[in-house]
């Protein structure tokens, strides 16, 4: 019976997303999972976004269009309307990877009854329409130091986690989801399980592409959730890691450069 299944609340926040929102909505309403409710939080769009929402109102459990203070404020606003056991944020311009994505994730999650945070992989779409699979890894403190190891579009968070750790910190313009995850893992001790399943497709770029703001948020996260000793150790590890990556890139590029030079000489 559907009522025996965990309820899943899918949340879409948007602003002036008339070009992309319909694809997101269709991705949600076509899901095969039977116990799903859909919430849309619009930031008082001035384009054709609201008429699109109204056209699909019969598929939406709740929607509102009013001013907000940005992405994470809208996501926080949505939580008060969430009734599901699990919450997943699929924002405008994102789509689920397949019609049975939610069903597959919840079926697998039910085999991990102690898990509070369940996340999968994502497919990143570039402007030329090519897809790159971004495979997630198990969450560890080292991975939390380097950056957000979980794309929020691929995360199914149990509602109890929000009750335990609170909402997103809106003073962080680009990394509030990373901060929230660190708070859940480091401070609240929540468990996080990675399932090797593509959850969503999203376009490259977005708010986290603002490098200066990202670095500022990153520094605050390091200071909040890592002791001074950990900060010193992980800083050295991060430098070593970056050197290793650069060496790998150089070793990969060198043979190509040499062959290219030889061809030119011919």
| Burial category of 94 from C-beta neighbours within 10 Å (exposed 0-12, middle 13-18, buried 19 and up) | buried
Q: Position of tokens 């109204």?
A: 54
Count helices and strands (H / E) in the chain. 9, 9
How confident is the model over 17-39, as a mean pLDDT?
96
DSSP codes joined into one string, 15-54: SS-TTTHHHHHHHHHT---SSEEEEEEE---SSSHHHHHH
Residue 111's pLDDT band, with cuts at 50, 70 and 90, is confident
How confident is the model over 122-129, as a mean pLDDT?
86
Helix (H) or strand (E) holding 202: strand 192-203
Residue 258's pLDDT band, with cuts at 50, 70 and 90, is very low
pLDDT higher than 50, residue 1: no
**pLDDT, tens digit, for every residue of 179-238?**
999 999 999 999 999 999 999 998 876 555 578 899 999 999 999 999 999 999 999 988
pLDDT higher than 80, residue 240: yes
Domain ranges (residues) in the chain: 2-226, 228-266
Q: For helices 211-225 and 228-265, give the axis angle rounded to 10 degrees.
A: 140
How confident is the model over 25-37, as a mean pLDDT?
96
Domain made up of 2-226: CATH architecture = Alpha-Beta Complex (3.90)
Cβ atoms of 143 and 174 within 8 Å: the answer is: no
User: What pLDDT, on a 0 to 100 scale, did the predictor assign at position 136?
Assistant: 85
**pLDDT, tens digit, for every residue of 39-86?**
999 999 999 999 999 999 999 999 999 999 999 999 999 999 998 899
């Amino acid at each position: 019976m559907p009522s025996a299944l965990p309820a899943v609340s899918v949340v879409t926040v948007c602003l002036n997303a008339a070009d992309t929102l319909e694809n997101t909505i269709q991705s949600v309403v076509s899901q095969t999972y039977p116990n799903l409710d859909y919430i849309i939080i619009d930031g008082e769009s001035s384009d054709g976004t609201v008429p699109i929402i109204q056209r699909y109102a019969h598929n939406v459990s709740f929607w509102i269009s009013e001013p907000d203070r940005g992405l994470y404020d809208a996501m926080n606003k949505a939580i008060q309307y969430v009734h599901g056991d699990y919450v997943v944020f699929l924002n405008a311009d994102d789509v689920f990877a397949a019609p049975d994505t939610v069903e597959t994730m919840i079926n697998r999650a039910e085999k991990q009854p102690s898990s509070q945070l369940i996340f999968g992989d994502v497919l990143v779409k570039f402007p030329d329409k090519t897809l790159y699979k971004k495979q997630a890894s198990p969450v560890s403190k080292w991975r939390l130091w380097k950056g957000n190891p979980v794309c929020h579009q691929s995360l199914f968070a149990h509602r109890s986690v929000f009750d335990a750790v609170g909402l997103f910190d809106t003073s962080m313009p680009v990394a509030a989801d990373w901060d929230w995850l660190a708070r859940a893992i480091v401070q609240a001790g929540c468990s996080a399980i990675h399932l090797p399943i593509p959850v969503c497709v999203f376009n490259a770029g977005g708010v986290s592409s603002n490098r200066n703001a990202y670095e500022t948020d990153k520094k605050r996260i390091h200071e909040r959730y890592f002791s001074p000793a950990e900060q010193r150790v992980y800083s050295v590890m991060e430098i070593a890691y970056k050197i290793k990556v650069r060496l790998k890139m150089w070793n990969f590029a060198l043979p190509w450069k040499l062959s290219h030079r030889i061809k030119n000489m011919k």
